[in-house]
Structure 1
Amino acid sequence: MAVHTIRAGAAYGTEVRPGDARYEALRRGFNQRFIATPDYVTVARSTDEVVGAVTKYLADRRSDGGPARRLTVRSGGHCYEDFVCGDDVAVILDLGQMDAVYLDEERGAYCVEAGATNWHLATRLYAPFGVAVPGGSCYSVGTGGHVTGGGYGLLSRQHGLTVDHLYAVEVVVVRDGQHAEAVVARRDSPEPELRDLWWAHTGGGGGTFGVVTRFWFKGLPEPPSLVLLHAVAWPWDRLKDHPERLKSLVRNYGLFFEHENTTRLPAPLRVDYSDMFTLLKLNHLSNGKIGLITQLDATRPDSAQRLTAFLDWITQDLGVEPTPLDRRMGEHAPMGGLHVPTRLPWLTATQTLNGSGDNQCGKYKSAYMTRGFTEPQLDAIFHHLRRPDYTNPQALLQVDSYGAAANLPGSADTAVHQRSSVLKLQYQTYWSWQEDVNQDGVADQLDAAADPEIAGRHLRWIREFYRDVYADTGGVPVLAGTGEEGRPEPVTDGCYINYPDTDLDDPEWNTSGQPAHRLYHGSNYERLRKTKSYWDPRDVFRHAQSIPPATG
């Protein structure tokens, strides 16, 4: 194979073009559904190189006279749709080498480059400084995308969202459509346009306003020195013929977080649970089990008692004994040794939970919930998790606890509109190519192109599942406060931009009258459009669900 000679360290970064041995790896990300064919991938090592790479892209676009193929940006590569690796991409700008994490003494803040991953954040902030960003548990997710979408993780109920600690952001922007420049926007910038740019990066989503190169955080919390980690599972063979058993678990789980800190819970549960984060894994029947992962602050002397009280309450009508969580559930590996609550250092527990799963294709959907599940939703969940026409052990609905400190800011304080939810849902299905459809002796993306049904059956299942759970609101989790007269108030509050789903723009799957941008951004959408119009009026940075410039 021919290898092109590259000028490493050029003003615009290192370009990797077709024919280079690295091209195959660098033209794709985490989700193997989407593999781009860009003219080249630029690997940048500094903000100056990012400015140079964007400037070069703009010059090439002006000179070629053809349709404007996109420039996209990758930090960790975890975009769930084709926003980075689409068919219309001319250049992928890879920031993976920009992964420094350090104390910026001049600004009095912790600086994180956009290519740093969640694991970089955990290790490089905690070991030298004893602090942590309340971010996600998947180790390889990049900061550039995670933060700009809002970011949350196992510390968020105790310490808020990732963006609640964001002080400043460095962005390479193109204000005139022709020239790239780097600007630093702070929470306290004197210029309102810069404050808007900072605000837009506290939940407006990536790939819209420019290329983020650095973040600065202030007021980062100290995580607990020790946490209590617990993982259990319940066998499907004790649930599949007894719908009320599974429904009771999911119902009580939702009601716990809906009624948290109220007298509607029994006295033993009327204590502070803000340090507890849970992930309920409602796997398809073919997995064999459903699971629950729980983390609490173990420096509190009552952590074990509170865990027991919580488990006793949500399983009071289940009638099934727990077993070890001894199989993969979505992005989490087996945790068979944690069926007995285990006290671990916070960083050790974080490493235990770190996971990205195998190299697979995937489809994802999301929902915020302001209250527990309705009975029709429980019926739909049970039906689709045990559908006999679909078999996939890696298909599930994950229900995360939410609320507490995540709900302290107002809906307009950051670009994250959803500040009153108690649960956050992620619908997931994973698959691999598996079949040699084109008879070339191997399984790869060419087989998926030859046989759309490799992906088709998985897409149908998750789309129909989602549509039926929200059948009463047009097939999607509409925003709270938008119910029709004479109908019950919705228990949902839209979707999470970091779990993007282009089906939200498809009238076949969304008949609610609320488009994707409203489901993601609620009342913050117009301010985001205004910010886009100032900083990227010619829509240089765009994808299928990016913020468009305001018109008129």
Structure 2
Amino acid sequence: MPAAPRQLPPVGPTEVGPGDPRYEALRRGFNQRWVASPDYVVVATSTADVLAALNTYLPGTAGSASPPRRITVRSGGHCYENFVCGDDVAVILDVSTMDGVYYDAEMEAYCVEAGATNWHSVTQLYRRYGLALPGGSCYSVGAGGHISGGGFGLLSRLHGLTVDYLYAVEVVTVRDRTHAEVTVARKDSPEPALQDLWWAHTGGGGGNFGVVTRYWFRGLPEPPSQVLTRAVAWDWSLFAGPEGDPDKFKSLVHRYGEFFVAERTGEGGPGCLRDFDYSDLFTLFKLTNHAKGKIGLVVQLDGTRDDSIERLNCFLNWIAPEPAYPQAVFDLPMGEQPPLSDQFIPTRLPWLTATQNFNGSGPSRCGKYKSAYHTGNFTERQLGVLFDRLTTGYSNEDALVQVDSYGGRVNDVDPFATAVPQRSSVLKLQYQTYWSWDDDANHDGVFDYQDALADPEIAAPHLEWIRGLYQDMYAETGGVPVLPTPESPDVNTDGCYINYPDVDLGDPAFNDPEDGQPWHHLYYGANYARLQRAKAFWDPRDVFRHAQSVRLPGAP
């Protein structure tokens, strides 16, 4: 049933072990919370290298049902949790140098290799072919993980998710105890098991079924040749402090949410929603901690339309009418977004140029993240929680809640057509907090990750804040943003995004199974059973696993 192993050229993966000057860099990713101590890191430059690396690792694990120490895979290396760089990792397989982007005539599709970053994919597809993947806004995220988790970005309301265009995927799988093989699964593969493997990579998440080496896409859209952009901010002093008015903050956030709810329902919102189409509008709303001094908003629309400036002004005047909300310059980094002072004035730019301007990643530091899909607007209670938690008891200018506009073409796809079940949301939230060590806890004269190991209290206030905010936001549904159920059909949430993984979702201290919903349901909903079926067939030994990997049927 699976595709036969392909004949591949001689291989030569590079092994980087302790003592190699590259080891310190390659045993960690962007998130400095997680630093592994693997036996070695494999730098793979081809599918053949991946195959060889697995066939070297697997024989040493043959004596156990599942390998006791994991082999993990890294493409971009953002590592929100310790799924790649954990304490139980024997080998890290780094595919970041496998970054080809090209048209494959035999497949009649555009190929993106797993190590290609968002920015590399953007530049190669657009410069060569005039096409785009509707993918992420962070330039350094790797295709391997971004695409397998669904993938979305500034073009998604106009063109859908990245996986909505996925035609085929090449995966190095391990069905035999000690040998790997190369498998290509297509959307139109005749074998059900291959169809399941393709489908599992349309939102099932990374590190579950094998090592992705290549993706192929058909029907990719053309982005607008030019986009209209604007970046504005508002001083926190409008909302908090001696002269601040908390109700102004709540009204601003409420109207922002109401705009996208009204767009979907046709009820409420500004009149321009009845006059104009806003499917090309994408926004990033940065609700920062008060210590930042400003909150920010980034807006992008199709700049080739004659009505774009009118639509932009109507949107901004609706959510933040002047002079009640005097605008300020977006001159500070917010989350992973760089300062965008030059775009305080509405700016028309070529799409590729604007994408480069918006692309940010932030410095390498420690971080914790959570996520939520919202199908409806914030409740009055949630608006109060946001304000209180952003202004009271915790000061960190690098903490925020980012609210992205969602919906549009994303919601035109059936929730079972891909592994992404969230196809009715209008907002997508990412809770973020960042910090550095700032304390020589082990008294060696420097700041580094060893200090965090010596003193967990370095991270404690940041973890306490983000966990408390999240639990308060969703207190009425057990502390997590549940999916609707027959018992609670009117909740305004729809689960979580697997590409913003959060191990707290599997911890009873933060998500009581009797009150909330299991972590896999929050990510996958009713799609989880099919993902488990794919797991059982393609990875029966559970070689590819982490704290929130798809479980084999019957496993806890």
| TM-score, structure 2 normalization | 0.95
- For residue 317 of structure 1, report the CA deviation from its aligned partner: 8.9
The residue type paired with residue 295 of structure 1 is Q
CA–CA distance in structure 2, aligned partners of residues 132 and 405 of structure 1: 15
The answer to whether the 8 A contact 2:371-2:496 is kept is yes
State which drifts further: 466-475 or 436-445.
436-445
Q: Is the partner of 1:260 in helix, strand or coil?
A: helix
Residues 1:466 and 2:467 are matched in the alignment: no
Q: CA offsets per residue over residues 418-438 of structure 1, 9 Å max, x none?
A: 000000000000011122222
CA–CA distance in structure 1, aligned partners of residues 460 and 63 of structure 2: 40
- For residue 521 of structure 1, report the CA deviation from its aligned partner: 0.1
Look up the match of 1:440.
Answer: 444
- For residue 63 of structure 1, report the CA deviation from its aligned partner: 6.6
Q: CA offsets per residue over residues 267-325 of structure 1, 9 Å max, x none?
A: 22222101010000000000000000000000011010000001111114982201000
CA–CA distance in structure 2, aligned partners of residues 140 and 157 of structure 1: 22
Gaps of 5+ in 1: 1-8
Find 2:524's aligned residue among 521, 526, 531.
Answer: 521
Residues 1:264 and 2:265 are matched in the alignment: no
CA–CA distance in structure 1, aligned partners of residues 502 and 323 of structure 2: 33
Look up the match of 1:292.
Answer: 297
CA–CA distance in structure 2, aligned partners of residues 66 and 300 of structure 1: 56
CA–CA distance in structure 1, aligned partners of residues 248 and 323 of structure 2: 5
Find 2:479's aligned residue among 475, 478, 489.
Answer: 475
- For residue 491 of structure 1, report the CA deviation from its aligned partner: 0.2
Change in 2 beyond 3 A, CA 1:379/1:45: same
The residue type paired with residue 501 of structure 2 is P
- For residue 489 of structure 1, report the CA deviation from its aligned partner: 1.6
- For residue 178 of structure 1, report the CA deviation from its aligned partner: 2.3
CA–CA distance in structure 2, aligned partners of residues 403 and 268 of structure 1: 18
Look up the match of 1:546.
Answer: 549
CA–CA distance in structure 1, aligned partners of residues 425 and 11 of structure 2: 46
The residue type paired with residue 113 of structure 2 is E
The answer to whether the 8 A contact 1:177-1:540 is kept is no
Q: How does 1:529-540 map to 2 (within 5 A)?
A: 529-540=532-543
The answer to whether the 8 A contact 1:248-1:318 is kept is no
Look up the match of 1:6.
Answer: none
Gaps of 5+ in 2: 1-8
RMSD: 1.6
CA–CA distance in structure 2, aligned partners of residues 342 and 12 of structure 1: 49
Q: CA offsets per residue over residues 156-201 of structure 1, 9 Å max, x none?
A: 0000000000000000001123210000000001111101100000
Find 2:377's aligned residue among 372, 376, 384.
Answer: 372
Residues 1:503 and 2:504 are matched in the alignment: yes
Q: Is the partner of 2:334 in helix, strand or coil?
A: coil
Look up the match of 1:211.
Answer: 211
Residues 1:178 and 2:183 are matched in the alignment: no
- For residue 551 of structure 1, report the CA deviation from its aligned partner: 3.3
Q: Is the partner of 2:179 in helix, strand or coil?
A: coil
Look up the match of 1:333.
Answer: 338
Residues 1:429 and 2:433 are matched in the alignment: yes
CA–CA distance in structure 2, aligned partners of residues 64 and 233 of structure 1: 56
- For residue 391 of structure 1, report the CA deviation from its aligned partner: 1.3
Q: How does 1:75-474 map to 2 (within 5 A)?
A: 75-240=75-240, 241-260=244-263, 262-270=266-274, 271-316=276-321, 319-387=324-392, 389-474=393-478
| TM-score, structure 1 normalization | 0.96
CA–CA distance in structure 2, aligned partners of residues 182 and 116 of structure 1: 19
The residue type paired with residue 410 of structure 2 is A
Q: CA offsets per residue over residues 195-237 of structure 1, 9 Å max, x none?
A: 1100000000000000000000010000011001110000001
CA–CA distance in structure 2, aligned partners of residues 360 and 513 of structure 1: 31
The residue type paired with residue 52 of structure 1 is A
Look up the match of 1:3.
Answer: none
CA–CA distance in structure 2, aligned partners of residues 289 and 131 of structure 1: 36
Q: How does 1:474-493 map to 2 (within 5 A)?
A: 474-484=478-488, 489-493=490-494
Q: Is the partner of 1:310 in helix, strand or coil?
A: helix
Q: How many residue pairs were aligned?
A: 540
Look up the match of 2:6.
Answer: none
CA–CA distance in structure 1, aligned partners of residues 323 and 403 of structure 2: 18
Runs of 4+ in 1 over 4 A off after TM superposition: 63-67
The residue type paired with residue 405 of structure 2 is S
Change in 2 beyond 3 A, CA 1:112/1:242: same
- For residue 64 of structure 1, report the CA deviation from its aligned partner: 9.7
The answer to whether the 8 A contact 2:477-2:516 is kept is no
The answer to whether the 8 A contact 2:66-2:541 is kept is no
The residue type paired with residue 255 of structure 1 is E
- For residue 62 of structure 1, report the CA deviation from its aligned partner: 2.9
Q: Is the partner of 1:400 in helix, strand or coil?
A: strand
- For residue 510 of structure 1, report the CA deviation from its aligned partner: 1.1
The residue type paired with residue 386 of structure 2 is I
CA–CA distance in structure 2, aligned partners of residues 243 and 509 of structure 1: 28
